[in-house]
Structure 1
Amino acid sequence: MTDRSADAPPRVDPPRRAHRLREDVQGLRAVAVLTVIAAHADFAPVEGGFVGVDVFFVISGFLISQLLFREVARTGRVSLGGFYARRARRILPAATVVTVATVVASLLWTSLVEARDVLTDAVWASLFAANVRFASSGVDYFAQDQGPSPLQHYWSLAVEEQFYLVWPLVLLGCLAWAARRSGRARPARSGRRRAERDALPRTTVVLALGLLTATSLAWSVWTTAASPETAYFSTLARAWELGVGALAALVGPALVRSLAPRGRAVLATGGLVAIVAACLLYTEATPFPGYAALLPVLGSAAVLLAGLELRPEQPVPAATRWLGAAPMRLVGDWSYSLYLWHWPVLVVLEARLGREPGLVATALALVATFALAGLTYRFVETPFRSTRTFTVPRGLVLYPASLVLVLVTAAGGTWWTRWAGGELGDDPAITLSDFGVDDPAAVDLAADPAVALVQASVLAARSGMAVPSDLSPDLLELRDDVAPVTCDYADDSLRELCPGGDTDAERSIVLLGDSHARAWVPAFERIAEEAGYRTYHLVKVQCTAADVTVAALGTRDPWPECSDFRDWATDQVAEVEPDLVVVSTSPPVNGVYDDAGRHLTGRDEVGAEMRAGYERLFAALAPHADRLVLLEDVPRAPEDPATCMTEGDPSLAECMFEPAERASWFADLSVEVAREADVEVVETDRWFCWDGSCPVVVGSTLTYRDPGHITSTYAAELAGPLGDALGLTGPGTGPLDAAAGAGGSGQRP
């Protein structure tokens, strides 16, 4: 299943019955919904099917603006209450049903940590602020190893509703300004055409709408290059797409009224070709929206214009006729419900299976999607759309009613996750005297108590010992167990030193690296406070310490801010001249760039660049520190231990893992280069793995918060062993000694 941000279509209002719903528009909806579903179901030829949401934005801007313009022509004003009541009737019933159903399904069929995140997502979705939520997650490096939310597709509903909070007000402003200039408050009404001309100040609206659309497009282009994760979910970066639809509704009639049949055919066919081309040519690597969104957006506008104001005697373009076919109209009718259901069905299925679904499972999921969509359209959408019960002001009540229903569901789910993830039973922690074997004294454990406890934890898992009841950190707080830092250099503009540890000490330690170095901060703080060192944590998430050019998060573009930070950090080491510099880093997530600017992702190619980068780094640091140490990168889990430990009935044996081969290869490479450069090395795998197995619980402590980052809690407990390994503290002073001491009889020299 493609892990592109899920694209839910904005729901668009059909015109009033007096204005028959265009069949080709329903067909265009069908094209959009089918391409997005195909892309999310990993149908390779249409990897760019995510552009379907852009098609929906254009349709929405077109139809909703038509309604507003007709209302102005009819009444000379815009009824905000009526507008938002209609939006509520169209949007909220189906969206609320799917939200509640998704929350319940997540509680039943996903892990507790995943379900807890879905509860939060549901609240954001009900507030039409899901795009804000997922934009923040998209730029959160620590969320990158987590799967997509089953409610992630609600971001587009949020974008549309945020746009429609503003667009009617802009139109009202244009009406008021035009009325003030003309010295009249209401238009004359001598016929529909004249009323429309008099009531709607077209020039004013075109200028205002054009300015907003152009500004949004410019912002979209800029922010897509600067921060693609934020741009993808941004209302400001997407508003121009709805603006194009609105402009088509406003100026389209004048443009196509005298257009020859051949011209309409070119518009219809060319528009469809543009949409299909985007689906076929665009990939996950395409910077989006930005310039790239112009192709599907303008293509959609062309299709809408081609079928606009067609008279009965005029020939219908073949593409328009195809879009209006009965099967396309049916899918178009169901499109809103199809989009709402398809993504949670696919995501929850994958979470339930614990792997990407195969062909048969995906096919069954799509059948279920269409069945659910058909039922939702028949029994939820249609009744609310056709009833006269929820007109103004009753229709507006749907907003708080929907919010309350989702909040009550989320509150119940929160209680359930706390109950299910709480301390149940009295299963003991793993100790050196009790780790599930018949004769612990006969087992030859290491002399180092920290290593011995890892060995005991592996043996406990293999013997089927139960998960300790009193885990630290709490299972439901595992995702949040991130090491705090005083200076968060994720802010590219931050350039200052923030001392820690014993700030009055003359001796100093510099920790240099990426998020894997940050994970060790609690250990270094304890070591420094005990041994009398001042600390500087020069760590920037995703920015590998090796002197290489890496790609920015979520893109394949070079990330110069990482190189700038590394240069600045190296300068700070030269200025501070610390007693000890510790380098801790992981390989780059998105590959590296060579001197020719080529993007490299293959292991051997990246390895060659990393080798040279480590050599340059060590050469730059060594002259400015009394000691230079490489802290070996920790083993990486192939899958998320947090999910395993909170899914169903957790088992120590099932959650224990073998280190991921690629990460281990890069860790070995860094150690090899360090030793060649006479840099000291502290090996870390002994504190995480033994005999090829890595337990996710050592004693009663959870070791990993995600596949690559250790918990802040376990890092703090490793302060003693790490301090000893660095020669900064004496043996027997580490926090793990207390746990190990409970079973000293099982320890062998």
Structure 2
Amino acid sequence: MASSGTPVASSAARTRSERRPEIEGLRGLAAVLVVLYHVWVGRVSGGVDVFFLLSGFFVLGMVARRAMRGERVDLGATWTRLFWRLVPTAGLVLLASTVAAAVLLPPSTWVRNLRELVASGLFLENWRLATDAVDYYADHGTASVAQHFWSLSIQAQFYLAAPLLVLLVAWWARSRGVDVRSALLVALSAVTVVSFVHSVHATATDQAFAYFDTRTRLWEFALGGLLALVLERVRLGYRARAWLGWAGVVGLVTCGAVLDVGAAFPGYLALWPVLSAVAVIVAGRAGAGERLLASPTAQYLGSISYPLYLWHWPVLVVALVLMGTATPGLVGGVVVVALSVALAVATHHLVEEPLRRVTLPRPVGLASLTVAASLLPAMLGLGVWAAVVAADRGTPVAIGDQDHPGAAVLVAGQDSTGDPAAPVRPSTARVQDDWADYRDACAPVPDHPVLEQCVPISPEGEPQRRITVVGDSHMQQLLPALEPIARERGWQVSTLVRARCPFSLASETDPEDATCVDWNAAAVEHLALDPPDAVVVSATRDVRAGLTEQTPDGFVAGWRELDELGIPVVAVRDNPRFDHRPSECFETYGRGAAPCEIPRAELLAPDPPYALRDDVPSNVAFLDLSNELCTPATCPPEIGNVLVYLDDNHLSASYSRTMSTAVGTQLPALLGW
């Protein structure tokens, strides 16, 4: 990561102006570990945590010392200098990554890459990934070219907040006659403790979010600031410092190899790499600091550590896609590392070094514009690419479209008279956004604020029938299939849908989380107040290879609750789930390719699990759409020139719409309407 601030002393025996070569070497070691672990190991190395500690050490230390001396700190100038070290190189890598993603990566990845590249350009990538619940440990070949910008985003957010915090504490201390140094020690200690406790708790409850959460990482920056404030008072002999330095290096190198931190990082395990780095800094030039980290090789790696970190990830992601593999192997990995180092060297000498000799213009506002302008080419490139992708929305699939009949081609005796080789809809670039989106028709339920009810389909006058769809996002994706018959017959369709919460009186997706149970209990209470003419829910879940489909007891218990309310239930057999994205498989191999045509017998048993139960209440009728999703032999990714799935388990809204004939025929018959 980028170096920041002016080197500071490591002990009382060193003057503040003395250079710290071991820290430059530590930065280089951390960057190398990140690259090697990403390319070959696929585990967390702890290198990024070292970057965070060093940023706190330099930035908080620099601003704090000025504040303690009573010097005026120009916030605008401080921010400009800090970001001048980050932004130009980041802008160059973002621009190159944009071009590489648009030219070399498949269209199915474009929307994801666009979103994350824009978030990275705004230094908000960590929150983008946290919101999307991205698995950092997943296959690197499926990640965006900008995913690694999450750490740079946190660092940029720290750069904005750190000087403000120091100046605020210094102002408060002086206004009350308190020693500024003491006040800063207390404030940074409080940030360290609160952030660390939050990190441990958040990692235990939601690790995917916690990994990218700025708040779970603040303690690492704050600890670096504390180290900068107390380091010159540390008195250790040479031998003790030598042992400490070597222990720190060994601890950092072995962190990722010893700890399998896939489900427990950052949390308390982040102490390992952070304290290893603290040990190296406290040791100074003794031991490893002199013999290893101060070596010319380590010093040079430190000087290129920032561009090396930025370049290695897009090079790796693009290489994995081009090779069609999840891991690069020995030879492929060597090529990835060599190209990353070459790009880092070129960037360091042709971009970073010349820019460091540039004197930013005055006033600060003009300097800030100069910094922002260095990001402009990347953002313009993203804008052009976004416009191209947005223009690829295509014409929505309409019922009766002969070129895109979808499920209609599976109906016995019905042939498509259109072009069997017509381009699929939606395109592979847009399919992941093909949701049944009715958010404009949603509002909280007054009698149960925990609920949100949507009314996406409603006739102008009094509805002939009222149907409520209850369950998870799979039920939401069935709405396009239900819409034509509802509009034709004047039905009102409302939804009580919550992601990952099928209608059940048990916690089906997470046994330790009662959120879905509470949601469904509230849904039953709401339905009891004004019972609809029918409720549509899921009949099964977990339709995967290996015949894992089941009808859980919680489903049946929910149906009994509705039976007691006198509400008819239509339970819909769930669609298959895959260990890959069918649309991406189609994009890679084309129509009818064997790797994408999953045998139906591996996913769906002839007799659904609910047919084997003898405790199903009499109010339930079952809707099985398996023949609209699969041929007699396979469950393909594309049927009738329409992509069936938008990801690995959700029907695309376009394909769902083509099932409307089947739903319109079967649903009224099941309800006797």
Measured against the shorter chain, the TM-score band is: 0.7 to 0.9
User: Could you list the runs of 5+ residues in structure 2 that have no partner in the other structure?
Assistant: 10-15
Q: Identify if the C-alpha distance between structure 1 residues 238 and 624 changes in structure 2 by more than 3 Å, giving closer, same or farther.
A: same
2:241 — aligned with what? 264
1:737 — aligned with what? none
User: Quick one: distance in 2 between partners of 1:483 and 1:662?
Assistant: 32
1:301 — aligned with what? 278
Give runs of aligned pairs for residues 113-262 of structure 1, distance below 5 A. Answer: 113-138=108-133, 147-181=142-176, 201-254=180-233, 256=234, 258-262=235-239
Q: Identify if the C-alpha distance between structure 1 residues 358 and 227 changes in structure 2 by more than 3 Å, giving closer, same or farther.
A: closer
Task: Write the letter of the residue equivalent to 1:401.
Answer: A
User: Quick one: distance in 2 between partners of 1:532 and 1:560?
Assistant: 37
User: Quick one: distance in 2 between partners of 1:493 and 1:288?
Assistant: 34
- Counterpart of 1:412 in 2: which secondary structure? helix
- For the pair 1:362 / 2:362, whether they are aligned, the reply is no
Task: Write the letter of the residue equivalent to 2:603.
Answer: S
User: Quick one: distance in 1 between partners of 2:47 and 2:604?
Assistant: 40
Task: Write the letter of the residue equivalent to 1:296.
Answer: P
Shift of residue 56, structure 1, vs aligned partner: 1.0
Give runs of aligned pairs for residues 356-505 of structure 1, distance below 5 A. Answer: 356-359=326-329, 360-388=331-359, 393=364, 395-417=367-389, 421=392, 449=408, 451-452=410-411, 465-467=421-423, 471=425, 476=430, 478-484=432-438, 486=441, 494-495=450-451, 497-498=453-454, 501-502=457-458, 504-505=462-463
Task: Write the letter of the residue equivalent to 2:349.
Answer: R
Task: Write the letter of the residue equivalent to 1:345.
Answer: V
Match of 1:40 among 35, 38, 41: 38
- Counterpart of 2:633 in 1: which secondary structure? coil
Task: Write the letter of the residue equivalent to 1:348.
Answer: V
- Counterpart of 1:15 in 2: which secondary structure? coil
- For the pair 1:516 / 2:447, whether they are aligned, the reply is no
Task: Write the letter of the residue equivalent to 1:331.
Answer: L
Match of 1:99 among 90, 94, 103: 94
1:66 — aligned with what? 61
Match of 1:664 among 599, 603, 609: 603
Task: Write the letter of the residue equivalent to 1:452.
Answer: V
Give runs of aligned pairs for residues 15-30 of structure 1, distance below 5 A. Answer: 15=7, 19-30=17-28
Q: Identify if the C-alpha distance between structure 1 residues 689 and 457 changes in structure 2 by more than 3 Å, giving closer, same or farther.
A: farther
Shift of residue 456, structure 1, vs aligned partner: 5.2
**TM value normalised by structure 2:** 0.82
Q: Is the 8 A contact 2:468 2:495 kept in 1?
A: yes
- Counterpart of 2:115 in 1: which secondary structure? helix
Q: Is the 8 A contact 2:572 2:623 kept in 1?
A: yes
Q: Deviations over 1:650-708 (max 9, x none)?
A: 95445993237798258965454468847543222222332434555555644322232
- Counterpart of 1:135 in 2: which secondary structure? helix
2:13 — aligned with what? none
Shift of residue 264, structure 1, vs aligned partner: 2.5
Q: Deviations over 1:43-73 (max 9, x none)?
A: 16xx232x32111100111122333345457
User: Quick one: distance in 2 between partners of 1:572 and 1:611?
Assistant: 23
- Counterpart of 2:475 in 1: which secondary structure? helix
Task: Write the letter of the residue equivalent to 1:381.
Answer: E
Shift of residue 134, structure 1, vs aligned partner: 2.2
- Counterpart of 2:512 in 1: which secondary structure? coil
Task: Write the letter of the residue equivalent to 1:411.
Answer: G
Q: Identify if the C-alpha distance between structure 1 residues 720 and 689 changes in structure 2 by more than 3 Å, giving closer, same or farther.
A: same
Match of 1:565 among 513, 519, 539: 519
User: Quick one: distance in 1 between partners of 2:393 and 2:549?
Assistant: 44
- For the pair 1:539 / 2:511, whether they are aligned, the reply is no
Task: Write the letter of the residue equivalent to 1:94.
Answer: T
**Deviates most, 12-21 or 702-711:** 12-21
1:583 — aligned with what? 537
Shift of residue 162, structure 1, vs aligned partner: 1.3
2:12 — aligned with what? none
Q: Identify if the C-alpha distance between structure 1 residues 667 and 202 changes in structure 2 by more than 3 Å, giving closer, same or farther.
A: farther
1:196 — aligned with what? none
Q: Identify if the C-alpha distance between structure 1 residues 695 and 515 changes in structure 2 by more than 3 Å, giving closer, same or farther.
A: same
User: Quick one: distance in 2 between partners of 1:510 and 1:86?
Assistant: 58
**Deviates most, 637-646 or 348-357:** 637-646
Shift of residue 500, structure 1, vs aligned partner: 5.9
Shift of residue 244, structure 1, vs aligned partner: 0.5
User: Quick one: distance in 1 between partners of 2:200 and 2:48?
Assistant: 18
Q: Deviations over 1:124-154 (max 9, x none)?
A: 22222222322222279xx999932211111
Shift of residue 386, structure 1, vs aligned partner: 3.8
Match of 2:656 among 703, 715, 729: 715
User: Quick one: distance in 1 between partners of 2:21 and 2:660?
Assistant: 68
Query: How many equivalent pairs are there?
Result: 655
- Counterpart of 2:451 in 1: which secondary structure? coil
Q: Is the 8 A contact 1:519 1:711 kept in 2?
A: yes
Q: Is the 8 A contact 2:89 2:307 kept in 1?
A: yes
- Counterpart of 1:509 in 2: which secondary structure? strand
Shift of residue 95, structure 1, vs aligned partner: 0.8
Q: Is the 8 A contact 2:428 2:584 kept in 1?
A: no
User: Quick one: distance in 2 between partners of 1:353 and 1:668?
Assistant: 41
User: Quick one: distance in 2 between partners of 1:574 and 1:36?
Assistant: 56
Q: Is the 8 A contact 2:467 2:532 kept in 1?
A: yes
Task: Write the letter of the residue equivalent to 1:15.
Answer: P
User: Could you list the runs of 5+ residues in structure 1 that have no partner in the other structure?
Assistant: 1-8, 184-199, 311-315, 436-444, 592-601, 732-749
Q: Identify if the C-alpha distance between structure 1 residues 275 and 333 changes in structure 2 by more than 3 Å, giving closer, same or farther.
A: same
Q: Deviations over 1:555-592 (max 9, x none)?
A: xx833212333444455556655543433277469x9x
Q: Deviations over 1:383-435 (max 9, x none)?
A: 2224446787465333220232222111222344456x4769xxx99989889
User: Quick one: distance in 1 between partners of 2:121 and 2:519?
Assistant: 39
Q: Identify if the C-alpha distance between structure 1 residues 607 and 417 changes in structure 2 by more than 3 Å, giving closer, same or farther.
A: closer
1:3 — aligned with what? none
**TM value normalised by structure 1:** 0.75
Match of 2:266 among 289, 298, 301: 289
Task: Write the letter of the residue equivalent to 2:30.
Answer: A
